[in-house]
Amino acid sequence: GAVVSQHPSRVICKSGTSVKIECRSLDFQATTMFWYRQFPKQSLMLMATSNEGSKATYEQGVEKDKFLINHASLTLSTLTVTSAHPEDSSFYICSARDLGAGGTDEQYFGPGTRLTVT
Amino acid sequence: LAKTTQPISMDSYEGQEVNITCSHNNIATNDYITWYQQFPSQGPRFIIQGYKTKVTNEVASLFIPADRKSSTLSLPRVSLSDTAVYYCLVGDMKTGGFKTIFGAGTRLFVKA
């Protein structure tokens, strides 16, 4: 199946700094990518939908100025956590949609990025 | 988006067949049903997807009754490595506008 990568796999940063997480679709083009956040023992929470060449659509309650999303190409979306605080520590997961020729949709998930803010 | 309801957790033993049922009473005509598996500190992994009746692949089967208001993921002869969280999702795949919203999932614990 298709592969989605994330970089870095884990990052530790100091409070007040910004962190960028990359999400790449390695063998397909993804017009749509999604960003999720997952706290321990909880389900994935959708943060935003990233469409190539246009502004991201954020879910209710997610601060767009704090979580900057850029989807400049069909294979790369980035999430920048600005002015990170300890409560932003979480597991961030991206996914990319591969709209197959048959019309059905398959969504592939990255391995996740563990962010720890100290 | 159709809401889904699954058991919070299930226990099983190695070698048994496990069936996890998901309720989606307000599923729409164009909605597909997709199941994902997630291990700790990893991204979800696609297991199987279906629209109606039965779908089978190398790892699981998906049973969908005629009214499509529920679905059952069947894992044959589970092993310890099948211990994970399983998510059932419902959405309209064909338009490409499907937002994947995860429910609470089912924590499956396989014992020796």
- Mean pLDDT over all residues of chain B? 91
Residues 6+ apart with CB under 8 A from A63: none
CA dihedral B36, B67, B24, A49 (to 10 degrees): 60
Report the pLDDT value the prediction gives residue B36, as an integer from 0 to 100.
Answer: 94
Please report which confidence band the pLDDT of residue A1 belongs to, taking 50, 70 and 90 as the band edges.
low
What is d(CA B8, CA B24) in angstroms, rounded to the nearest whole number? 15
Is A106's CB within 8 Å of B46's CB? yes
> Hunting for tokens 């962190």 — which residue is that?
A19
Does position B96 have pLDDT exceeding 70, yes or no? Answer: no
Please report which confidence band the pLDDT of residue A87 belongs to, taking 50, 70 and 90 as the band edges.
very high
Angle among Cα B31, B105, A20 to the nearest 5 degrees reads 90
What is d(CA B60, CA B55) in angstroms, rounded to the nearest whole number? 8
Please report which confidence band the pLDDT of residue A11 belongs to, taking 50, 70 and 90 as the band edges.
very high
Q: Once rounded to an integer, what is the mean pLDDT over residues A80-85?
A: 97
Is B44's CB within 8 Å of A1's CB? no
Is B103's CB within 8 Å of A43's CB? yes
Residues of A in contact with B43 (CB under 8 A): 4, 6, 93, 95, 109-112
Report the pLDDT value the prediction gives residue B92, as an integer from 0 to 100.
Answer: 75
Residues of B in contact with A111 (CB under 8 A): 42-43
What is d(CA B44, CA A93) in angstroms, rounded to the nearest whole number? 9
B59 touching A, CB under 8 A? Answer: no
Is A114's CB within 8 Å of B94's CB? no
- How many contacts does A have with B, using Cβ atoms within 8 A? 59
User: What percentage of chain B reaches a pLDDT higher than 90?
Assistant: 78
Does position B94 have pLDDT exceeding 70, yes or no? Answer: no
pLDDT tens digits along B3-13? 899 999 999 99
What is the token pair recorded at A93?
């997961």
Does position A64 have pLDDT exceeding 90, yes or no? Answer: yes
A81 touching B, CB under 8 A? Answer: no
Which has more confidence, A3 or A107? Answer: A3
Does position A7 have pLDDT exceeding 60, yes or no? Answer: yes
Report the pLDDT value the prediction gives residue B30, as an integer from 0 to 100.
Answer: 86
Report the pLDDT value the prediction gives residue A60, as an integer from 0 to 100.
Answer: 93
Residues of A in contact with B36 (CB under 8 A): 109
pLDDT tens digits along A46-62? 999 988 888 899 999 99
Instruction: Choose the weakest-confidence range: A23-37, A74-88, B61-75.
Output: A23-37
Is B94's CB within 8 Å of A93's CB? no
- Mean pLDDT over all residues of chain A? 91
Q: Which residues pair with B35 in a beta bridge?
A: B48, B88
Does position B2 have pLDDT exceeding 80, yes or no? Answer: no
Residue from B42, B49, B104, B90 nearest B73 by CA: B49
User: What percentage of chain B reaches a pLDDT higher than 70?
Assistant: 92
Residue A93 is nearest to which of B43, B46, B96, comparing CB atoms? B43
